[in-house]
Chains A and B, each alone.
Chain A
Amino acid sequence: SQKIEQNSEALNIQEGKTATLTCNYTNYSPAYLQWYRQDPGRGPVFLLLIRENEKEKRKERLKVTFDTTLKQSLFHITASQPADSATYLCALDYSGTASKLTFGTGTRLQVTL
């Protein structure tokens, strides 16, 4: 079965720096990969989606890369702010129809002043 690995240890960075979070997966590549933000006690919020044939996607301070050779996606937040502190989840869509998503356990990001 597919396994998704996100660093379970919290990532602590200083305000203004770039945060980079990693999502690794096993076996075959998904058709799509999505990133979500989750605050404590709240539902995940969709951030970005990247397709198998795309290498990079950007949205404001966010950037996602997708390397099917390494079986890895990187999620970058540039000029990070304390308000970016949250848990970030990657989700893989193997169905190609977005009907079934498999989520990683997430990485907690803490941005300090």
Chain B
Amino acid sequence: EAQVTQNPRYLITVTGKKLTVTCSQNMNHEYMSWYRQDPGLGLRQIYYSMNVEVTDKGDVPEGYKVSRKEKRNFPLILESPSPNQTSLYFCASSLSGQNYGYTFGSGTRLTVV
């Protein structure tokens, strides 16, 4: 089944403890993105990648890192999480070009205490 898989689905952590949220897609998509979703603010893009080793900042990149060493994987790294990073995170992927929408993962609900 074509899908974007995120792990974990739920995570509670403490301030300052480094964490990684994994994202993997099995559709050979070139484009991948990370979003966070907060009430009243909608989906905001954190980072995106247009291909292996090609990443760029989205609208809210502060406090996050990403890497794209393989086409299928696009992990999101929080080096020193803070409570304001408590949010619902989504990974998404798309075939390159201008005719395709994004396929989203099921989300990771992160709580930083």
Write the nearest CB–CB distance from A66 to chain B, whole angstroms: 14
Given A31-B98, A105-B42, residue A43 in contact with residue B105 (CB < 8 A):
yes
B42 touches A103 (CB 8 A): yes
B67 contacts A by Cβ under 8 Å: no
A96 touches B98 (CB 8 A): yes
Given A42-B106, A43-B106, A105-B42, residue A99 in contact with residue B31 (CB < 8 A):
yes
Write the nearest CB–CB distance from B45 to chain A, whole angstroms: 6
**Residue numbers in B under 8 Å from A32 (CB-CB):** 98
A43 touches B90 (CB 8 A): yes
Q: Which residues of B contact A (CB under 8 A)?
A: 4, 31, 33, 35, 40-45, 48, 50, 56, 58-59, 90, 92, 94, 96-107
Q: Which residues of A contact B (CB under 8 A)?
A: 31-32, 34, 36, 41-49, 51, 89, 91, 93, 96-106
